[in-house]
């Protein structure tokens, strides 16, 4: 059975975020689709995969697999509205813990 408790998923997701996108030194995974940016994190039988496209306008998806079966997922979309806001400034802010 691939059921994972909500608490275990939440704890794993926080760890995965901290060790992938939020860590500027984290290596990106190989791109899975044309022009995508990807991160992957594994702990025991759980695997987190984040793939996104774009910079100022972006869209992405996070998936958690347990034993290669998807058990949680989320899609996201964002736009940087302020024309004078730099991408680096915005993304550095989003990476803060």
3 state DSSP class of 2: coil
Flag whether the pTM goes above 0.85: yes
Q: How confident is the model at residue 1, as a pLDDT?
A: 63
Q: What is the Cα–Cα distance from 68 to 90, expressed in whole angstroms?
A: 33
Q: Determine the pLDDT at residue 44.
A: 96
* DSSP character at residue 30: P
Task: Give the domain ranges of the chain.
Answer: 6-95
Region of residue 44 (phi > 0: left; psi between -120 and 50: alpha; otherwise: beta):
left
Tens place of pLDDT for every residue, the chain, 97 residues? 678 999 999 999 999 999 998 898 899 999 999 999 999 999 999 999 999 999 889 999 999 999 999 999 999 999 999 889 888 888 888 777 5
Q: How many CB atoms lie within 10 A of CB 21?
A: 20
Strand (E) or helix (H) holding 39: strand 37-43
């Amino acid at each position: 059975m691939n059921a994972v408790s909500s608490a275990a998923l939440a704890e794993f997701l926080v760890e995965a975020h901290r060790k992938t996108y939020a860590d500027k030194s984290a290596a990106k995974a190989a791109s899975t689709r044309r022009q995508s940016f990807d991160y992957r994190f594994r702990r025991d039988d759980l695997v987190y995969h984040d793939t996104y496209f774009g910079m100022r306008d972006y869209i992405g998806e996070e998936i958690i697999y347990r034993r290669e079966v998807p058990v949680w997922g989320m899609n996201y979309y964002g736009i940087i509205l302020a024309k004078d806001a730099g991408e680096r400034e915005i993304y550095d802010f989003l990476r803060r813990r």
